[in-house]
Structure 1
Amino acid sequence: MQHSPWHRWITLAIISFSGGVSFDLAYLRYIYQIPMAKFMGFSNTEIGLIMSTFGITAIILYAPSGVIADKFSHRKMITSAMIITGLLGLVMATYPPLWVMLLIQVAFAMTTILMLWSVSIKAASMLGDSSEQGKIMGWMEGLRGVGVMSLAVFTMWAFSRFDPEDPNSLKTVILIYSVVYILLGILCWFFVADGVNPSDASKPSEKKAFQFSDILSVLRISTTWYCSLIIFGVYTIYAILSYSTNYLTEMYGMSLVAASYMGIVINKIFRAFCGPLGGIITTYSRVKSPTRVIQILSVVSALTLMALLATNNHPQSVAVGIGLILLLAFTCYASRGLYFACPGEARTPTFIMGTTVGICSVIGFLPDVFVYPIVGHWQDTLPAEEAYRNMWLMGLGAVCMVIVFTFLLFRKIRAVSRETENVASMATESLGQ
């Protein structure tokens, strides 16, 4: 059924907002770690365990989420995912014990990853033809960021209305997210199409996409590992940046509310604007290669992390600290907007592209599993200076890994390009004879 352009763009906005904000309760500690420890009674190590529980479950569910996207109604999956996530938030607002929080995180992973991750991407892609995919995916990333940013600013405003010692402050934030999730789920029911064509199941190409032999063939391709480890390194920085609020509070003495607003700027606003900037750089600068742009951004990240390490022991100017973290956030989010372009630049065959992206997601997002418990343990057991020094060193190691693997990937891309050009040249010469 054909819809008017306005209906299509409203649908894209609803899908994007849903896909973006659905993770915010699972990642609540990105902005509210200190209130979580104060009002919910968890240690930093326990909060890290809560985060890693979500991460481990998510890693397991990324691959089957693609099967869900191909086999089930998009409307039913997205609607039910958002409403169930909202209901789980209502349970979370009761400040449950640790074991219940761990179960909630497992359930969050099932709703946001298994039921929503691939479904939302495919549902958005089906809103346009092949010539519009770049535009649609670019707008989707931007709209996700706008949704996350808007809701984060509103909840932070609501949080700041309460007395700093009032436990209802964090509860109100959780309730707002829960209600918004349920409302978005209802909107998805009226705007999102089913997106499943029964005749597709009979196509050989669809059957081929789920053969185990394809997974093995993807794992044998070197560029799969290069792309995966590039994502791994960038995502490690993404996870580390979530500790910006704690860093500014503990090392520079910023108030919790002021540091939380900075956390929103770093983790939400920059996500909305810096992601699309990566694409603009590749489009309008001389550096057309996404891989090369990520490499350049990683060099800037390395220099920024060295500066953070240099100022870590003697923090003096909060403006300098904020400036360095904002620069690191820019390089990270611009890279995040580009790293899934690497498999395409490496000329990954179309019939295994979905499998490649799934494997890259599994390997690349592994920092979700280990970064939070490790940094949380450092926060609980080490002086603040030493804990954050270790954190920045972890980030520096990750960035160096990105520099190495972008170099290897770009070298491979050039080799493939030269080989293609030689084959084309030989074909032309043979035709001329």
Structure 2
Amino acid sequence: MQNNNFRRWLTLAIISISGGVSFDLAYLRYIYQIPMAKFMGFTNTEIGFIMSTFGIAAIILYAPSGVIADKFSHRKMMTFAMIATGLLGLLMSVYPPFWVMILIQVAFAITTILMLWSVSIKAASLLGNHEEQGKIMGWMEGLRGVGVMLLAVFTMWVFSLFMPDDPSSLKSVIMIYSVVYILLGILCWFFVSDGYTSRTESDGEKKDKPAFKLSDILSVLKISTTWYCSMIIFGVYTIYAILSYSTNYLTEMYGMTLVAASYMGIVINKIFRAMCGPLGGLVTTYSRFKSPTRVIQFLAAIGAITLGALLFTNQNPGSVVVGIGLILLLAFACYASRGLYFACIGEARTPKYIMGTTVGICSVIGFLPDVFVYPTVGYWQDSLPPAEAYRNMWLMGLGATCLVIVFTFLLFNNMKRASQQTTIPNPVME
């Protein structure tokens, strides 16, 4: 029994780390935007379009990724996806021209979104029962963050060993990621189960569930909670995308050196991600809130206040400590929410046999910021003074946070009404 529990958590770690680090090459700009522009010869706007290419392809592929999670072997999908992503990374390491980078981003979307995204979430979800979903999702986000953080720190250390003008620095980083992807793919083959054969519910009893049908997509779309969960993800993910500009913000507004700001970017985008995901799950499990939706609502309120403070200090940036502190507080609210927003789907009592499809549909809407945030902020960076560009960015974040507050309110009220209806006593039985 103890060995089975150990294997379960080890499998969760492999699934989570694979799902987390698989995106790092597609999102290389998060830490290495300046080196990408310097060594690969791209403008900020071009880098934004490279990112939005991945985002557009991802939006198209999220929904079918959910169908794949419900229909195909998790083990085969994850193994092939990780190895293929590693091979694409080796191609990226030769510094290809702009049009080839666009094609690589599309291929990254196929391997990481279509074949891996919903599969990894459903594979992790099946490792726990209904009561464990908040904990499983929180730890999944945390373990993703641990893998991303450790790999980011190691690659940044390797990057810093080279001279500032040595193009081999970024090339080495890309190659390390590629090799790690291939090794994780091999581990997935030995530890991840097929998944689609599972027919057990949270109470452990066998249930006769109907086979997945394409018409189930329409059924999922008709459920109001699907849309509420989607908009919650949309708002939180907008903040997540904006936080990726922390390195640029600290460099341009506070005068931090590139290396110092890059390490700070790792702390903000990687270390905090590792810490805050499980923390959100623990708050849900042990605090009086209990509901992941309520916790996200509370965190969104903190985020709104923090964004207001960032807008105020953006006019006259003074102490870099204040700037870093505000960004860290926003990162805490964002990453703790990221660890919980897919738990909202489980909290809404989504049946397991359409869990993958629901995740896919929510991801289509929720991750739309991938399409517009990067080219928009990149355009602001290229065409506006820094203070004005980042003011616009923080205003975008404030609008997104308000969306989260509104839709968590709607989702919680919907679930509360549904719960009251199921507990109303039947007068005939009395």
Structure 1 residues 77 and 409, CA, compared in 2 at 3 Å: closer, same or farther?
closer
Residue among 254, 257, 261 paired with 1:255: 257
Give, in angstroms, the shift of residue 167 of structure 1.
Answer: 1.4
- SS of corresponding position for 2:213: coil
Q: For structure 2, list consecutive stretches of 5 or more residues without a partner in the other structure.
A: 201-206
1:147-186 → structure 2 map (5 Å cutoff): 147-186=147-186
Give the root-mean-square deviation of aligned CA atoms. 2.4
- Give me the whole-angstrom Cα distance separating, in 2, the residues matched to 1:392 and 1:281: 27
Give, in angstroms, the shift of residue 358 of structure 1.
Answer: 2.1
| Structure 1 residue identity aligned to 2:386 | A
Structure 1 residues 348 and 180, CA, compared in 2 at 3 Å: closer, same or farther?
closer
Q: Deviation digits for residues 267-317 of structure 1, max 9, x if unmatched?
A: 111111101111211222222222222111111111111111111121110
Counterpart contact for 2:144–2:274, Cα < 8 Å: yes
* Map of 1:431 onto structure 2: 429
Structure 1 residues 352 and 83, CA, compared in 2 at 3 Å: closer, same or farther?
closer
* Map of 2:308 onto structure 1: 306
- Give me the whole-angstrom Cα distance separating, in 2, the residues matched to 1:133 and 1:281: 13
- Give me the whole-angstrom Cα distance separating, in 1, the residues matched to 2:10 and 2:411: 38
TM-score, L = length of structure 2:
0.92
| Structure 2 residue identity aligned to 1:210 | K
| Structure 1 residue identity aligned to 2:221 | L
1:290-305 → structure 2 map (5 Å cutoff): 290-305=292-307
* Map of 2:140 onto structure 1: 140
| Structure 2 residue identity aligned to 1:63 | A
Deviates more, 1:286-295 or 1:51-60: 286-295
* Map of 2:218 onto structure 1: 216
Give, in angstroms, the shift of residue 123 of structure 1.
Answer: 3.4
TM-score, L = length of structure 1:
0.91
Give, in angstroms, the shift of residue 345 of structure 1.
Answer: 3.0
Aligned residues: 423
- Give me the whole-angstrom Cα distance separating, in 2, the residues matched to 1:411 and 1:186: 45
- Give me the whole-angstrom Cα distance separating, in 1, the residues matched to 2:191 and 2:381: 45
* Map of 1:315 onto structure 2: 317
- Give me the whole-angstrom Cα distance separating, in 2, the residues matched to 1:274 and 1:5: 24
Residue among 380, 385, 409 paired with 2:382: 380
* Map of 2:39 onto structure 1: 39
**Does the alignment pair 1:190 with 2:190?**
yes
- Give me the whole-angstrom Cα distance separating, in 2, the residues matched to 1:69 and 1:355: 8
- Give me the whole-angstrom Cα distance separating, in 1, the residues matched to 2:416 and 2:6: 42
Counterpart contact for 2:119–2:356, Cα < 8 Å: no
Structure 1 residues 290 and 148, CA, compared in 2 at 3 Å: closer, same or farther?
same
* Map of 2:337 onto structure 1: 335
Give, in angstroms, the shift of residue 158 of structure 1.
Answer: 0.8
Structure 1 residues 86 and 293, CA, compared in 2 at 3 Å: closer, same or farther?
same
Give, in angstroms, the shift of residue 370 of structure 1.
Answer: 0.6
Give, in angstroms, the shift of residue 338 of structure 1.
Answer: 1.4
* Map of 1:79 onto structure 2: 79
Give, in angstroms, the shift of residue 130 of structure 1.
Answer: 6.2
1:66-105 → structure 2 map (5 Å cutoff): 66-105=66-105
Give, in angstroms, the shift of residue 151 of structure 1.
Answer: 0.3
Structure 1 residues 70 and 28, CA, compared in 2 at 3 Å: closer, same or farther?
same
Give, in angstroms, the shift of residue 204 of structure 1.
Answer: 7.8
Q: Deviation digits for residues 25-49 of structure 1, max 9, x if unmatched?
A: 0010111111111111111111111
Counterpart contact for 2:77–2:115, Cα < 8 Å: yes
Give, in angstroms, the shift of residue 7 of structure 1.
Answer: 4.0
- Give me the whole-angstrom Cα distance separating, in 2, the residues matched to 1:343 and 1:187: 28
- Give me the whole-angstrom Cα distance separating, in 2, the residues matched to 1:332 and 1:10: 26
